[in-house]
Structure 1
């Protein structure tokens, strides 16, 4: 019995030692992974986290990558609360990039794909361009998304003033046109009333002449006149 107990105690010590070595190995590997993550530079990098512009400006979102590892490069757009939308993709061994969806036929979006660069330029920016833009790169099973650049597009104050002046000018022109139409209508109504007065006067005069000529008649003659309007 004592021998069996010693064997069981030895087995327990062996299991405890194995567990201790396992935990120690996991801890060591975790520390090594963290150190490697801190020491290895990112494969894709965007130089600015925030960019502000006015409507009508041109902006360039700069993205740099390690040319010795990655082969395909992408740009994504994400509006707050929405999913990522693919803007473009190009392969470093190809000469032209591919744009997708509403960006495909939009000349405002262009790429600078020189070696080590994947810069996205947006000309004549609109308020709808306000979003976060992500640069990404991939090779085989490796895919890395950069930290992103948030673009905030504001309405230019001069543009706002021009819009207000334009709206005021249109409103003034419409008011003048309306007043002109009212004057024309009133003038026509006055002319019509004057013509009707002349018709009534002519009818009364005609009746008066008839009465003067028939004063000697013993019978009374009634004259009726009607005016059709």
Structure 2
């Protein structure tokens, strides 16, 4: 079974429709099942994402997972609706530097949590087959919607990240702890600067639709 995770209701609805996941299951968040797939609507933020991933991995034991959703671009060469296939993600607001850690480094000594290379290659093949523009890169995750261009530039310089969002680093951390294969894919909706909230709303629906197409191509 393949599990799909998304934070926003619009994202999860697009995945459910694309994957035919219409059977609601009892869970502490919206969770639906289709033939060979699960779709979890995690809610926004790192704690919500971690809770949902841990619950699904423990309760249903899928063989593989994808976390799909939208993100703000840190790299100005990324355009709205481009896909970023995350090779790894860092939690940019984790700060244990008083204890000699690097910014974003967790207490386990891990700073960047990786996507599964085989699943990422599948996502790359599926995006290419669908004709969706994509690139590989790094995602920065934090519990705050970023709408400040100067701060966004700082994240790019500090972590080498191309996009910023609010769940992926936590989801990949849980998958890493469970030794479970997961890949993170984001569609760009905004530039993580002034006007980001407006652009986010404008492009969210189309980004979610494209992620639904990608999800279907990953399993069918």
TM-score (norm 1): 0.23
More helix by share: 1
Q: Which has the higher contact order (CA 8 A, sep 6+)?
A: 2
Higher radius of gyration, 1 or 2: 1
TM-score (norm 2): 0.24
